[in-house]
Amino acid sequence: MDHILEVSGLEKRYGDFALRDISFYLPEGCITGFVGVNGAGKTTTLRSVLGLTNKVSGNISFFGMDMDGNENKIKDRIGIVLDGGCFYDELTLSEMKNVIAPAYGNWCEGDFMGYMEQFSLDPKQKIGTLSKGMRMKYALALALSHKAELLIMDEPTSGLDPLVRGQLLSILKDYMGRGGRGVFFSTHITSDLEKIADMLIMIDNGEIVFQEEKDRLLDSYQIIKGGTEGLNADTRKYFLNIEESAFGFTGITKQGSDVRKVMRDVLMERPTIEDVMLANVEGRKRDVV
């Protein structure tokens, strides 16, 4: 399978925070979710990959081309949505588009007008009067109107209500269906990824924790529920994270079949992405202590 983006050994420092040896790839034909808690390094990674902030070291290649020396050619082929878009509030949607469109060799006015209509956006409305959801849709309309082969977005669903989030997710599916080659977006709203992601990459404290196909990842962890009488120094070792209450315990493990052998009367459930993400954050904190 071809990779539309390959990142290897990316390093970047901001005071006490550092991205350390960030390596991952985006396979073609996939929606890839980039997850991590607040401050994990998602935005810094995306900005470094896109050349919007200086990296210290590392190699970045899009579509098989090195980012160093090919930045303009590459950016022509990517739709980018960061911070809900950096727009001038006093301009209308149409005027702002006229500022942005000439930057792209493949700008397609017909696509733009089609998205404006699909998203119920009025070209004569001023940017400053858009709601958060409308602003996100406008940013998407711009990002999707130059035949982009890859869409990269930072927290596109944050602050949006469930209805607009749902619309945005179906736009992304539709984009892939029209022959988009990949979508890469960061979020801490993991329920969105349950719906549409094929691949997941997790970052924590500036390090990549895993890159895995979503279904394979969720199949490799199990939530275990049972009475606390089954917990002892030996059985606890099987768990990345355990929560105890007066009614029993809930733990997450990657060794479900071993747990079954040593703990009777426990229930096993499939975890959510959030369960896996938080278990890894807790597990890593414990390893550091």
Residue 17 binds to ligand ATP (criterion: CB under 6 A): yes
Six-digit token pair at 138?
């406008």
Smallest gap from residue 217 Cβ to ligand ATP (A): 19
Q: Tokens for 100?
A: 């942005």
Site mask for ligand ATP (CB under 6 A), range 21-40, x = bound: ---------------x-xxx
**CB closer to ligand ATP out of 113 and 278:** 278
CB of 207 to ligand ATP, least distance (A): 12
Instruction: Tell which positions 61-100 bind ligand ATP, by CB under 6 A.
Output: none
Contact between 43 and ligand ATP (CB under 6 A)? yes
| Candidate residues 2, 14, 106, 170; the one interacting with ligand ATP per rule CB under 6 A | 14
- What are the beta bridge partners of residue 182? 30, 150
Gap between the Cα atoms of 29 and 113, Å rounded = 26
| Site mask for ligand ATP (CB under 6 A), range 151-190, x = bound | -------------------------------------x--
With CB under 6 A as the rule, give the number of residues binding ligand ATP.
12
Q: Which residue has the tokens 């989030």?
A: 165
Helix (H, G, I), strand (E, B) or coil at 14: strand
Nearer of residues 17 and 88 to ligand ATP, judged by Cβ? 17
Angle at 48 between CA 7 and CA 152, to 5 degrees: 75
Q: What is the DSSP code (8-state) at residue 258?
A: H
Question: How many residues make up the chain in this entry?
Answer: 289
Residue closer to ligand ATP by CB (options 70, 158) is: 158
Is the CB of residue 95 less than 8 Å from the CB of residue 89? no
Contact in structure between 108 and 147 (CB atoms under 8 Å): yes
Cβ 36 vs Cβ 204: under 8 Å: yes
Residue 52 as a binder of ligand ATP (CB under 6 A): the answer is: no
Q: Which of 57, 52, 74 is nearest to 22 (CA)?
A: 57
Residue span 185-224 as binding mask against ligand ATP, x where in contact by CB under 6 A, dash where not: ---x------------------------------------
Residue 15: exposure state from Cβ atoms within 10 A (0-12, 13-18, ≥19): exposed
Q: By C-beta, is 168 or 224 nearer to ligand ATP?
A: 168
Where does this chain bind ligand ATP (CB under 6 A)?
14-15, 17, 36, 38-44, 188
